[in-house]
Amino acid sequence: MSDYENLSGNEKELQEFLMIEKQKAQVNAQIHEFNEICWEKCIGKPSTKLDHATETCLSNCVDRFIDTSLLITQRFAQMLQKQSSGGM
């Protein structure tokens, strides 16, 4: 039996809550990273309004980070699946 299965109902609820909060923190950290990197890449000088080229750059920048993050996540999931099935 895993440690998780030995927990009481309240302890399981707390563990699930903490896992969700950790995931939220990771998403927030990722968004912050996107903001920093894409800002440096796309914003020449701050102004009161974004021009079309800047909007496109920001959108493409974030899209590439999301694509890359998904690809890496899928790759790790595949590696874990192979490992758990005895493939490694």
Q: Nearest CA to 73 among 33, 26, 41?
A: 26
pLDDT band at residue 61, thresholds of 50, 70 and 90? very high
User: 47: phi > 0 → left, psi -120 to 50 → alpha, else beta; which?
Assistant: beta
pLDDT tens, residue by residue, 63-88: 998 898 888 888 888 888 888 887 54
Structure tokens at 25: 């923190």
Mean pLDDT of the chain: 84
9-42 vs 52-84: helix crossing angle, rounded to 10:
140
At the topology level, CATH places domain 1-86 in: Helix Hairpins (1.10.287)
Task: Report the pLDDT value the prediction gives residue 55, as an integer from 0 to 100.
Answer: 92
- Over residues 20-38, the mean pLDDT reads 88
Distance CA 33, CA 23 (A): 15
Query: What is the predicted pLDDT for the residue at 18?
Result: 92
Note whether 80 and 49 are within 8 A (CB): no
Domain ranges, ordered by start, for the chain? 1-86
